[in-house]
Structure 1
Amino acid sequence: MPAGRSEPSDAPDSSGPSAPAELPEYAERVLDTADRIPPGRVLTYGDVAEWLEEGGPRQVGRVMALYGGAAPWWRVVRADGALLPGHELRALEHYRAEGTPLREAGRAAEGHIPRIDMRRARWDGGD
């Protein structure tokens, strides 16, 4: 996961060009939205873009990949409820600790990794 809000995860070392001192305004808005999602609830990348009335799922995903390490990244998810590839176990720890509704994987499912129960876990923006 990315280092945090002050610089992107792929920030160059001191021999290369310097990382931006501030986040782009859109990235700050995406991260602020992620911070608003209550524990145990999720929004899809598309939901965040719709909430902001700007960008789309790919733009939100890019922001989360570059700057989302200090935000609750596990609460911004794919629309199909699949866990973030490469970070499934870390995300699963957060989901279980927060009581996020999950759909347990069947025995035939590769790796037996559950998915988020999107019908029950998706946040509507209310209290």
Structure 2
Amino acid sequence: MKIKSTAGIKVSVESLYQANESRPLASHYFFAYRITIVNTSNYTVQLKKRHWYIFDSNGMKSEVEGDRVVGVQPILVPGQSHQYVSGCNLSTTIGKMHGIYQMMRTIDGELFNVKIPEFLMIVPFKLN
């Protein structure tokens, strides 16, 4: 598990290869990842946007931006957490991701960025 904390918002990530969703003969590898966001600050915050940087082992880079995460813009009071699962397709057996969430303090509307830690996606047979 990878963990990073920015401005009192802790983000942890776990990834898992999804063999049943992958087609290795077609160079299609699918990874699920679980994100947990914990508000350790003194303010209520809302997740507004996400920006992902995705890299495969062929040197290809892609970016994904958008409002919400899996359809929601969670509001987190101090001490509260939000968890979701999403996924990523790669054309190689190894890749990595990292990114940024744009958060907003609800008390004053101040926007700030929270770093999502870099994590690896590796097909298990590559670890032998």
TM-score range, shorter chain: under 0.3
Which structure shows the bigger proportion of residues in helix conformation?
1
Q: Please, what TM-score do these two structures have when normalized by structure 2?
A: 0.27
Q: Please, what TM-score do these two structures have when normalized by structure 1?
A: 0.27
Which structure shows the bigger proportion of residues in strand conformation?
2
